[in-house]
C-alpha cells in the first residue's frame, strides 16, 4: 500500500471524523482541518495519539497551503439550524472554500473531492432524482445559502477541471445519519432520537407524509472512498444515498418503537422550501463505483440510538 497525505476539510464534523478514522485505519497520513463551528473535538480526540494524524484549526474561507496528495472538501454546516444561523458565512464557506481548496489542488497537483448534497435538487419535480436533473431550487429562500452555495461549488469544480485540468470528483450526499451527529444539529434523525430518549414530544413539521431516504454513515464513507479511488475519467456528479424511502411519520414511529419511548407525536407548520420528496437514483454509483448501501434503517437506527443513549449517560455521570 502507498501511504498518501490526505487533507480532510471539516474533518472534526460528523462525516469528516468518520472519514479521518477510516483513512488512518488504511494507513494514510491525515490532516484534519476544521474551524469548529459545527465540528467537535470529541469526534477526533481519540485519533490525536496517532503519529499520522494532525489536527489544524483553520477556516477554509481563508487560503491554506500544505503538501497533500488528495483533498476531501467536506467543510460546510449541513443542517438548517446551523447553515441558516449565518447564511452569508455559509455561502462564503461553500464558494470561497471551494476556490481555496481548488487553488491548493492546482498548486500541489492533488486530486480533490467535493462533498455536494441532494439539496442541489431543491424541491424536486422528478422522482427519484438522477444526476441529469437540474433541480428546482429557490435562489432567494431561507435555504438558498446552502442549496445555491453547493450548486455554485459544483460549478467551480467543473470550471477548474475544464480550464486547469484539475483532477476532481463530485458526490451528492443524501440524508445521512449515525454516531457523532451533534445532538443539537436540528436534523430529523437526531432530533427524533433525542426527543424519544427523553420522552419529550416528537416534533414533525408538516403532516409527516413527506419522504426521505436515510443512509447510514458507514455506507457513505465507503461511497466517498470508492469515488476518490475511481478512474480519473469519472468525475461525477454521482448520487450517494439509500433508495429505501420512508415518510417522516414512519421514521418517528420506528424510533419510538426502538427506544420504548413514551413520546407523543405533535405536528407543526412545514418550513418554507422544505422538499416534500427525496430519493436518490443510484444507478450511476452502482455502475461506475460498484457501490450500493448495505445497512438497513432499523440496524442503523439501533446503532445511532445506542450512541446517543451512551452520550446522555456519560453527560449525566459528569454532572454528578
pLDDT tens-digit map of 151-200: 999 999 999 999 999 999 999 999 999 999 988 777 889 999 999 999 99
Does residue 296 contact residue 233 with C-beta atoms inside 8 Å?
no
Average pLDDT for 2-6: 94
Given a cut of 60, whether residue 14 has pLDDT beyond it is yes
* Mean pLDDT for the stretch of residues 228-244: 95
pLDDT value of position 272: 67
Instruction: Assess whether 216 carries a catalytic annotation.
Output: no
Cβ pair 216, 176 in contact under 8 A: yes
- For the CA atoms of 120, 124, 128, 134, the dihedral, rounded to the nearest 10 degrees, stands at -50
**More reliable by pLDDT, 206 or 1:** 206
| Structure confidence by residue, pLDDT tens digits, 25-45 | 999 999 999 999 888 899 999
Distance CA 118, CA 121 (A): 6
Residues 6+ apart with CB under 8 A from 105: 71, 111, 112, 160, 166, 167, 168
Residues 6+ apart with CB under 8 A from 310: none
Buried b (16+ CB within 10 A) or exposed e, 252-274: bbbbbebbebebebeeeeeeebe
Beta strand segments in the chain, E: 5-9, 29-34, 53-57, 70-73, 111-117, 168-173, 176-177, 202-205, 211-213, 215-216, 238-240, 245-247, 265-268
Instruction: Report the side by side order of strands in the sheet with 5-9.
Output: 53-57, 29-34, 5-9, 70-73, 111-117, 168-173, 238-240
Q: What is the CATH number of domain 5-174+216-241+275-294?
A: 3.40.50.720
Residues 222, 225, 227, 231, CA torsion sign: negative
Given 146, 160, 177, 216, the catalytic residue: 146
Question: Does pLDDT of 201 surpass 70?
Answer: yes
Identify the residue with better confidence: 70 or 209.
70
Amino acid at each position: 500500500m502507498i501511504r498518501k497525505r490526505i487533507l480532510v476539510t471539516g474533518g472534526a464534523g460528523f462525516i469528516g471524523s468518520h472519514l479521518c478514522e477510516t483513512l488512518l485505519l488504511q494507513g494514510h497520513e491525515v490532516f484534519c482541518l476544521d474551524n469548529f463551528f459545527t465540528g467537535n473535538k470529541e469526534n477526533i480526540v481519540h485519533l490525536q495519539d496517532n503519529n499520522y494524524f494532525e489536527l489544524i484549526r483553520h477556516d477554509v474561507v481563508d487560503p491554506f497551503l500544505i503538501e497533500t496528495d488528495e483533498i476531501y472538501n467536506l467543510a460546510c454546516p449541513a443542517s438548517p439550524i446551523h447553515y441558516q444561523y449565518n447564511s452569508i458565512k455559509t455561502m462564503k464557506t461553500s464558494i470561497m472554500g471551494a476556490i481555496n481548496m481548488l487553488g491548493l489542488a492546482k498548486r500541489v497537483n492533488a486530486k480533490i473531492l467535493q462533498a455536494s448534497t441532494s439539496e442541489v435538487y431543491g424541491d424536486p419535480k422528478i422522482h427519484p432524482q438522477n444526476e441529469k436533473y437540474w433541480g428546482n431550487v429557490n435562489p432567494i429562500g431561507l435555504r438558498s445559502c446552502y442549496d445555491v452555495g453547493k450548486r455554485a461549488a459544483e460549478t467551480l469544480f467543473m470550471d477548474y477541471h475544464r480550464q486547469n485540468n484539475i483532477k476532481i470528483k463530485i458526490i451528492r450526499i443524501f440524508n445521512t445519519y449515525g454516531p457523532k451527529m451533534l445532538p443539537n444539529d436540528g436534523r430529523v434523525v437526531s432530533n427524533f432520537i433525542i426527543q424519544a430518549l427523553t420522552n419529550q414530544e416528537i416534533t414533525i413539521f408538516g403532516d409527516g407524509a413527506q419522504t426521505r431516504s436515510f443512509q447510514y454513515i458507514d455506507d457513505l464513507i465507503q461511497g466517498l472512498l470508492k469515488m476518490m479511488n475511481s478512474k480519473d475519467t469519472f468525475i461525477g456528479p454521482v448520487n450517494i444515498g439509500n433508495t429505501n424511502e420512508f415518510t417522516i411519520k414512519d421514521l418517528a414511529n420506528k424510533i419510538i418503537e426502538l427506544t420504548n419511548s413514551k413520546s407523543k407525536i405533535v405536528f407543526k407548520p412545514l418550513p418554507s422550501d422544505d422538499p416534500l420528496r427525496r430519493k436518490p437514483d443510484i444507478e450511476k454509483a452502482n455502475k461506475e463505483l460498484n457501490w450500493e448501501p448495505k445497512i438497513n434503517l432499523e440496524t442503523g437506527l439501533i446503532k445511532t440510538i445506542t450512541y446517543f443513549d451512551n452520550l446522555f449517560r456519560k453527560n449525566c455521570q459528569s454532572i454528578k
